[in-house]
Amino acid sequence: MLDSTLYKVIINSMSAHVAILDEHGIIIETNRAWQDFGRENGMQEPFDSIGINYLKTCSGTSSHRDGEDSSVAEGIQKVLQGKIPEFLSHYPCHSPDQKRWFAIRVVPFRDDKNHHIIVTHENITPIIEIQKELEAKEAELRSEQERLEETNIALRVLLRQRDEDKTRIEETIYVNVDRLVLPYIEQMLQGNLSDKQRTLAEVVDANLRDIISPFLQNISALNMLLTPQEIEVANMVRSGRTSKEIAEVLGISTSGVDFHRKRLRQKLGLTNSSKNLRSYLLTLEKDRS
């Protein structure tokens, strides 16, 4: 066994608050840290707490700590009864001007003669404060992540809306030019114009067609811009039918089919291009799929 003086020096040198309890849970000895804490925090004398039943103290204050002290009392009982080798827990112990947390540890007193236990309370406030700071940062990061996700969703919606608006504007421009401008230019070209007037009208016609040709993105857009018979002709051209076969199916003349082909090339912006009409229509179909 350790010399009693050396034993006293050891426990009084510890920063943890130490109490020795007998088999009934009564405090039989405490160290200087325990006594100083009691003195500094308004504990009634004696500050060494010797003779106080620690188990009853824990059980009697359970209502003030939502059962925390009651669980400590149960843990101490189990260590006293040899059901568990040690008991660990932590609890808040706030003062009017300071928030504090302590860890409690209960272990058997290694003495064959006496059935005692050692209870230590260690101030873990710095650890708990760091933990709470980390939890607050994690919550802040989660909130920021959620905000960014909401912003990304809003941006995707805006971009989709912008693309839809852009498509509608392009289609509107195409329809207005194709139906409200180009027919009148064609009528002008069929009239009696001077060479200069005809040249200017042809330039205007070609430039307008160049302006609106990029707006045609796929065959679905064309379906809105083409007349019903032009759609039928376009579908059969895409299927590889000849002008004669198309004329027989639709009950029109071959020259009528050729007229529709010409109109299709104009609406597709292929008037001044060597591209094959069928190949171009097949390309539009691939883009749609």
Q: Are residues 19 and 114 in the same domain?
A: yes
Q: Are residues 75 and 157 in the same domain?
A: no
Q: Provide the number of structural domains found in the chain.
A: 4
The pLDDT value given to residue 214: 64
The pLDDT value given to residue 282: 80
- 140 lies in a domain? yes
Q: Are residues 220 and 130 in the same domain?
A: no
Q: Are residues 111 and 33 in the same domain?
A: yes
The pLDDT value given to residue 19: 93
Residue 120's CB is within 10 A of a number of other CB atoms, namely 20
Q: Are residues 8 and 118 in the same domain?
A: yes
Instruction: Extract the tokens encoding 247.
Output: 């004329």
The pLDDT value given to residue 62: 42
Q: Find the domain containing 254 and state its range.
A: 216-289
One digit per residue, the tens of pLDDT, for the chain of length 289 reads 456 678 788 888 888 999 999 999 999 999 999 999 888 887 777 888 899 999 888 775 544 444 555 688 889 999 988 899 999 998 888 878 888 999 999 999 877 677 899 999 999 999 999 999 999 999 999 999 999 999 999 999 999 999 888 878 877 887 788 777 888 888 888 889 898 998 898 889 888 877 776 655 555 556 557 788 888 888 888 888 899 999 988 889 999 999 999 988 888 888 888 889 888 888 775 554 4
- 176 lies in a domain? no
The pLDDT value given to residue 216: 56
Q: Is the pTM of this model over 0.75?
A: no
Distance CA(75)–CA(28), nearest Å, equals 19
- 174 lies in a domain? no
Q: Are residues 14 and 118 in the same domain?
A: yes
The pLDDT value given to residue 124: 92
Q: Are residues 210 and 225 in the same domain?
A: no
Q: Are residues 159 and 221 in the same domain?
A: no
